[in-house]
């Protein structure tokens, strides 16, 4: 049965979902993901984080007025000095210039190699803060405090950090694991509806690649998720993190299995780069990219038309675009060749070889052109 949406009116910030922990099993780099309500401002939430002389909260101009003070107060007992840096908001600022603002703050404050960075915000803040932590003095500790659904279910987990380049998304970065990921579900109450839908794209992807029972649950509960039902969101975040933890635990540096987490992303990254970063949200591009990847999977014999239609309907119900922008097939192919999975100029796609199982495959350009003709605006 679907989770009831009757509690939505009480607001996520007033709900009480018992906190749960999901662990990322990486030996001496293992860490917990803490999921629940009222966690961000609770000093006890950070017991697993090392103390030091100083800490730097990296956030953005949208999130800072909402949550920076609460986080600063919660961690004040662990550090003699806690500074806050608010970066400009948006994917368009995920670049070297903005990254250097973090280094400027660290050096300007005389931060040492034990200084702890806290990434407070969505995927852009998390990626840049993690990259800065990996590079500053060759590595300092950092904590992910994601405030968007997309960051809570995907980008904050697993240690991928990066900035964009004009020629390709996330092409400059490092694998660097946080000390803790703290998912306070209450922060989702302040998330714009468009951002919530973008996060649902990354929730949906876990079904076709790994868990069709979860996919069926999402279908039953998509209206509750869009309505921000606390119990539905708590389960979606928990199950998404469990699946990602399982995959990352087996393949931390994307040598094989972890690549399946990029389902829809090869097409999606091309959309983001081709339109200009920030025109479509990352989750919007991934949602549409999953439709394209499913069509490609069908043409390669992995799934039938009924499955493609089922996935497309769910993505549309989540409030996401299912028709790609008219960049032109050759431009799509050009952009997709600049992809971390590409080998020797050959584009490698994450496709569904059967519902609940994904693989990385090559595809003839002619077939990709047919898919783009079917999936993109005229």
pLDDT at 241 over 60: yes
Q: What is the pLDDT of residues 303-312, one digit of tens each?
A: 999 999 999 9
Q: Which residues contact 107 (CB under 8 A, 6 or more apart)?
A: none
Q: What is the pLDDT of residues 285-305, one digit of tens each?
A: 999 999 999 999 999 999 999
Q: Percentage of the chain surpassing pLDDT 90?
A: 89
Cα–Cα distance between 128 and 170 in angstroms, integer?
10
pLDDT at position 12: 53
pLDDT at position 10: 43
pLDDT at 272 over 70: yes
Average pLDDT over residues 214-242: 97
Average pLDDT over residues 213-230: 98
Q: Which residue among the candidates 93, 94, 160, 228 is catalytic per the annotation?
A: 160
Determine the distance from the C-alpha atom of residue 88 to the mean position of all C-alpha atoms in its chain, rounded to a whole number.
19
Average pLDDT over residues 124-136: 98
pLDDT at position 339: 80
Average pLDDT over residues 306-328: 98
Instruction: For each of the domains in the chain, give its residue range(s) and CATH number, in order of start.
Output: 6-190 (3.40.50.1970), 198-375 (1.20.1090.10)
Q: Which residue among the candidates 91, 202, 242, 252 is catalytic per the annotation?
A: 202
Q: Which residue among the candidates 252, 254, 272, 284 is catalytic per the annotation?
A: 254
pLDDT at position 342: 78
235 a catalytic residue: no
Average pLDDT over residues 223-229: 97
Q: Which residue among the candidates 94, 169, 265, 310 is catalytic per the annotation?
A: 265
Q: Which residue among the candidates 228, 262, 272, 295 is catalytic per the annotation?
A: 262
Q: Which residue among the candidates 93, 205, 238, 258 is catalytic per the annotation?
A: 258
pLDDT at position 16: 54
262 a catalytic residue: yes
pLDDT at position 19: 85
Q: Which residue among the candidates 244, 295, 310, 348 is catalytic per the annotation?
A: 244
Confidence of residue 345 (pLDDT cuts 50, 70, 90): confident
210 a catalytic residue: no
Cα–Cα distance between 103 and 138 in angstroms, integer?
12
pLDDT at 343 over 90: no
pLDDT at 344 over 80: no
Confidence of residue 227 (pLDDT cuts 50, 70, 90): very high
pLDDT at 8 over 50: no
109 a catalytic residue: no
pLDDT at position 243: 97
114 a catalytic residue: no
Number of Cα atoms under 13 Å in the Cβ half of residue 23 = 7
Q: Which residue among the candidates 94, 169, 205, 282 is catalytic per the annotation?
A: 282
Confidence of residue 86 (pLDDT cuts 50, 70, 90): very high
Q: Which residue among the candidates 93, 169, 269, 310 is catalytic per the annotation?
A: 269
Average pLDDT over residues 75-98: 96
pLDDT at 2 over 50: no
pLDDT at position 192: 96
Q: What is the pLDDT of residues 273-285, one digit of tens each?
A: 999 999 999 999 9
Q: What average pLDDT is seen over the chain? A: 93
pLDDT at 376 over 50: yes
369 a catalytic residue: no
pLDDT at 1 over 50: no
């Amino acid at each position: 049965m679907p989770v009831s949406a009757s509690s939505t009116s009480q607001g996520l910030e007033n709900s009480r979902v018992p906190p749960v922990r999901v662990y990322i099993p990486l030996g001496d780099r293992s860490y917990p993901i803490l999921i629940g309500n009222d966690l961000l401002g609770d000093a006890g939430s950070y017991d697993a984080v090392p103390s030091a002389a100083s800490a730097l909260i990296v956030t953005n101009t949208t999130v800072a007025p909402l949550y920076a003070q609460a986080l600063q107060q919660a961690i004040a007992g662990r550090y003699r000095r806690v500074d806050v840096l608010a970066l400009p908001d948006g994917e368009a600022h995920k670049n070297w210039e903005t990254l250097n603002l973090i280094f400027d703050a660290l050096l300007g404050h005389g931060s040492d190699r034990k200084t702890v960075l806290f990434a407070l915000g969505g995927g852009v803040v998390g990626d840049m803060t993690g990259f800065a932590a990996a590079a500053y003095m060759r590595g300092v500790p950092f904590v992910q405090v994601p405030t968007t659904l997309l960051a809570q279910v995907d980008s904050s987990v697993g240690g991928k950090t990066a900035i964009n380049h004009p020629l390709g998304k996330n092409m400059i970065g490092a694998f660097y694991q946080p000390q803790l990921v703290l998912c306070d579900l209450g922060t989702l109450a302040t998330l714009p509806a468009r951002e919530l839908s973008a996060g649902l794209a990354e929730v949906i992807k876990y079904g076709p690649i790994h868990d069709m029972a979860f996919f069926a649950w999402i279908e039953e509960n998509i209206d509750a998720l869009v309505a921000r039902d606390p119990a539905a969101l708590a389960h979606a975040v928990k199950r998404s993190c469990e699946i990602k933890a399982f995959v990352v635990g087996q393949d931390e540096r994307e040598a094989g299995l972890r690549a399946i987490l990029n389902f829809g992303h090869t097409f999606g990254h091309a959309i983001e780069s081709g339109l200009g970063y920030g025109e479509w949200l990352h989750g919007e591009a991934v949602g549409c990219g999953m439709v394209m990847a499913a069509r490609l999977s069908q043409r390669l014999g992995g799934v039938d038309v009924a499955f493609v239609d089922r996935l497309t309907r769910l993505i549309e119900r989540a409030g996401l675009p299912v028709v790609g922008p008219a960049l032109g097939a050759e431009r799509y192919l050009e952009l997709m060749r600049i992809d971390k999975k590409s080998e020797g100029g050959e584009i490698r796609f994450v496709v569904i070889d059967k519902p609940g199982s994904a693989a990385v495959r090559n595809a003839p350009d002619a077939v990709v052109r047919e898919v783009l003709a079917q999936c993109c605006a005229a």
